[in-house]
Chain A
Amino acid sequence: MAFTPLDRNGIAARCAQDIPEGWLVNLGIGIPTLVADFVPPDREVIFHAENGVIGVGPAPATDAVNPFLINASTTHVTLRTGGSYVHHADSFAIARGGHLDLCVLGAFEVAENGDIANWARSADEPVKQVGGAMDLAIGAQRLWVVMEHTTKDSEPRLRRRCTYPLTAKGVVKRVYTNLAVLDVTPDGFVVRDMIPGMTLEALQARTEAKLA
């Protein structure tokens, strides 16, 4: 049976469905940033940006840009009514201190033991880009990853063990890909949901780790 993989917005929208009202959520750069656009405005989810914004709102109208208000991607945003600002040490205290209900990050690879690799493609890479990913990955109450199921060269990203340098060990709780939603459990990846037309067999063929 034929299937159509989700696009970036489709992955983000699928993830957004599962974020309940009242959660404090940090969204990483890339596909994760798109997630906010798919949470209905009447569902009060509080988005945290690592540069010290609590209550990030949607993009401003082009004639109403506040040059002093950006998110972690350095994109201009708005502040929701009820929002507030903190300095950088407090902003990362929110992340590291376990105050985030959820952090959504992109990744190169996720392993069946919950390891995540999202900051360097090899240990020899000369120029490293850590940013806030390591702080967010260890600190949030739950870490979800949104990413393509395979690389552009059809290499699997859901691994038995990560092959790229780790960002953190054993922290990923769920993965949303363009093909499926998978929980990371003590027994490895468990498929929660697949796109229409996808079979467990076809998904397994695109995954290095054993699926259940």
Chain B
Amino acid sequence: MIDKFVRTMADAMTGVADGSTILLGGFGDVGIPTPLLDGLIEQGARNLTIVAVAGGRDGSAIERLLSLGRVRRLICSFVRPASLAGRLFQRGELDVEIVPQGTMAERMRAAGAGITGFYTPTGADTLLAEGRETREIGGKLCLLEYPLPGDVALIEAWQADRWGNLTYRDSARNFNPVMAMAAKLTIVMTRNVAALGELAPETIVTPGIFVNRVLHVPL
């Protein structure tokens, strides 16, 4: 019997290695699996690369992870100068790679889809293209982008069954489905548990084939 549910946070975080690249879902406060990040803090992995839309506000779980010195590198679309990530970066204590948000999503999609690179006009005419490979395609200058795979994805779902089939609530979908595809180990926290067969096949957004572990974390 396939059963991807784990019973404890410790089981969910087993084997997350030092130096891992962690794909972290969420946008603003919505769809971000804060309990899993707290579990990661407890688990103790260090020297991490975090991929997330932004560098985290004060009081966020990303900020807690940063404040403990667990993060070596942050890949995101923006960092607030006044945030902890902004201050650490300016002091040279954190490596930050800024990626346009759509490019970030597409690089993860490429990682999950086996696409080894793609050209996009996004950012091609900007500072972000300095020293990088560009070419003109269809009359537009385009920038070569590479996939962005994760060792681990931390995902928040609304419903999950024991195969790991997932639904998301409203705009809490955001990066979660694409990150689930792009990581070797996808760890999900779900707000609700569904029996196998209870989720209508048409409503499943992430099929369980992209999911390794599910922890039930009620609202």
Contacts and interface: CB of A to CB of B under 8 A. Distances in A.
Interface of A: 49-53, 66-70, 74, 79, 85-89, 91-93, 95-96, 120, 123, 126-136, 138-139, 165-169
Contacts of B5: none
Contact of B178 (A88, A95, A96): A88
Nearest to A134: B100
Interface string B46-80: 00000000000000000000000000000001111
25 contacts: A52-B173, A52-B174, A68-B169, A68-B170, A70-B29, A85-B168, A87-B173, A87-B175, A87-B205, A88-B105, A88-B174, A88-B178, A96-B122, A127-B86, A127-B90, A130-B78, A131-B78, A133-B100, A134-B102, A134-B103, A134-B123, A138-B124, A165-B127, A168-B121, A168-B126
Contacts, number: 135
Contacts of B134: none
Nearest to A50: B101
B177 interface: yes
Given A51-B27, A87-B176, A128-B78, 4 more contacts: A85-B170, A87-B177, A129-B78, A139-B102
A70 B101 contact: no
Interface in B165-187: 168-178
B205 A69 contact: no
Contacts of A79: 170
The range of chain B's interface size is: 35 or more
B101 A135 contact: yes
A85 B177 CA distance: 12
B128 interface: yes
B27 A132 contact: no
B125 A127 contact: no
A139 B101 CA distance: 13
Contacts of B44: none
B125 A166 contact: yes
A87 B178 contact: yes
Given A68-B170, A138-B122, A166-B125, A126 B89 contact: yes
B78 A85 contact: no
Contact of A126 (B90, B103, B172, B177): B90
B77 A130 contact: yes
Nearest to A53: B171
Nearest to A77: B171
A87 B90 CA distance: 32
B171 A85 contact: yes
Contacts of A136: 102
Contacts of B86: 127
B80 A129 contact: yes
B192 interface: no
Contacts of B123: 130, 134
A89 B99 contact: no
B159 to A, nearest CB: 13
Given A53-B171, A132-B77, A167 B102 contact: no
A96 B102 contact: yes
Contact of A130 (B29, B89, B98, B105): B98
Contacts of A139: 102, 121-122
A51 B98 contact: no
B102 A135 contact: yes
A91 B175 CA distance: 10
A166 B100 CA distance: 13
B171 A96 contact: no
